């Protein structure tokens, strides 16, 4: 209910990207996509909240068959929240729903490890515009604004305590397999990222005392 909707400008920019949905599905090992109706694959990935199953365990896990009924079961999952969603509200709603679904005679425990609210810098920010100019200088074309998520709680802390937006600039490609055993990073993007980072300081300096 609290999700910030996509602006017409964002949806138009997403739609103009040279995105090959079939190739994307092949990269992540699925044959088709799923999710909320009324949104494209990129819109779901970049701007909508998610409920991710990270792990499941119960019963016999070895090879072959075994007719033993498990006494316990467990799961690990996470939510990718978006701006305006309050973690405590989501946790409370989850506890209520799980308690509602839990059959009589079954004991359930929910452990909340950590959480952080989503943050989004306004596209009209002079700092975002400065970063856009720096990226265009290094990459030869203007950037397209997306809402790629990342679990970096300090960004929300800066926003709440300092009332300041944070610029997060990443130079990786979709197929870099970030956080995977076979993660990679293009040297060309590495060098372009260096040029963009250097140019960003020049762009921020142009803002003078207003920065």
- Domain harbouring 200, CATH code: 1.10.150
Q: Which of 187, 191, 153, 185 is nearest to 172 (CA)?
A: 185
Q: Please indicate, yes or no, if residue 43 is contained in any of the structural domains.
A: no
Find tokens 């709440």 and name the residue.
160
- The residue range of the domain holding 147 is 126-210
Instruction: Tell me the average pLDDT across 10-21.
Output: 90
Q: Please indicate, yes or no, if residue 25 is contained in any of the structural domains.
A: no
With bands split at pLDDT 50, 70 and 90, how would you rate the model's confidence at 68? confident
With bands split at pLDDT 50, 70 and 90, how would you rate the model's confidence at 185? very high
* pLDDT at residue 149, rounded to an integer: 66
With bands split at pLDDT 50, 70 and 90, how would you rate the model's confidence at 177? confident
> Is there a contact between 77 and 51 (Cβ–Cβ < 8 Å)?
yes
How far is it, in rounded angstroms, from Cα 60 to Cα 37? 37
The Cα angle at residue 45 between residues 41 and 46, in degrees rounded to 5? 120
Q: Please indicate, yes or no, if residue 138 is contained in any of the structural domains.
A: yes
Q: Please indicate, yes or no, if residue 105 is contained in any of the structural domains.
A: no
Q: Please indicate, yes or no, if residue 136 is contained in any of the structural domains.
A: yes
Q: Is 70 exceeded by the pLDDT of residue 211?
A: no
Task: For the beta carbon of residue 149, count every other beta carbon within 10 angstroms.
Answer: 15
Q: pTM of the entire structure? A: 0.75
Q: Please indicate, yes or no, if residue 8 is contained in any of the structural domains.
A: no
How far is it, in rounded angstroms, from Cα 131 to Cα 162? 20
Q: Is 80 exceeded by the pLDDT of residue 48?
A: yes
With bands split at pLDDT 50, 70 and 90, how would you rate the model's confidence at 210? low
How far is it, in rounded angstroms, from Cα 103 to Cα 205? 62
Q: Please indicate, yes or no, if residue 205 is contained in any of the structural domains.
A: yes
Name the average pLDDT for the chain. Answer: 89
What is the count of structural domains for the chain? 1
> Is there a contact between 123 and 9 (Cβ–Cβ < 8 Å)?
yes
Q: Please indicate, yes or no, if residue 167 is contained in any of the structural domains.
A: yes
Instruction: Tell me the average pLDDT across 50-65.
Output: 92
């Amino acid at each position: 209910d609290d999700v910030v909707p996509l602006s017409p400008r964002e949806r138009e920019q997403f739609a103009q990207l040279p995105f090959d949905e079939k190739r994307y599905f092949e990269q992540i090992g699925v044959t088709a996509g799923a999710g909320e109706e009324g949104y494209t694959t990129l819109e779901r990935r970049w701007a909508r909240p998610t409920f991710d199953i990270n792990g499941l365990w119960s019963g016999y896990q070895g090879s072959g068959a075994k007719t033993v009924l498990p006494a316990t079961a467990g799961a690990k999952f996470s939510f990718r929240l978006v701006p305006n969603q309050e973690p405590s509200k989501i946790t409370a709603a989850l506890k209520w729903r799980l308690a509602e679904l839990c059959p009589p005679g079954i004991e359930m425990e929910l452990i909340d490890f950590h959480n952080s609210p989503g943050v989004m810098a306004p596209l009209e920010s002079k700092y975002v515009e400065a970063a856009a100019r720096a990226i265009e200088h290094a990459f030869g074309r203007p950037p397209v604004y997306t809402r790629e998520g990342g679990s970096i709680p300090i960004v929300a802390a800066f926003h709440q305590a300092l009332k300041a937006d944070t610029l997060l600039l990443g130079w990786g490609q979709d197929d870099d397999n970030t956080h995977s055993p076979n993660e990679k990073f293009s040297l060309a993007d590495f060098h372009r990222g260096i040029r963009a980072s250097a140019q960003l300081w020049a762009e921020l300096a142009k803002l003078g005392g207003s920065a």
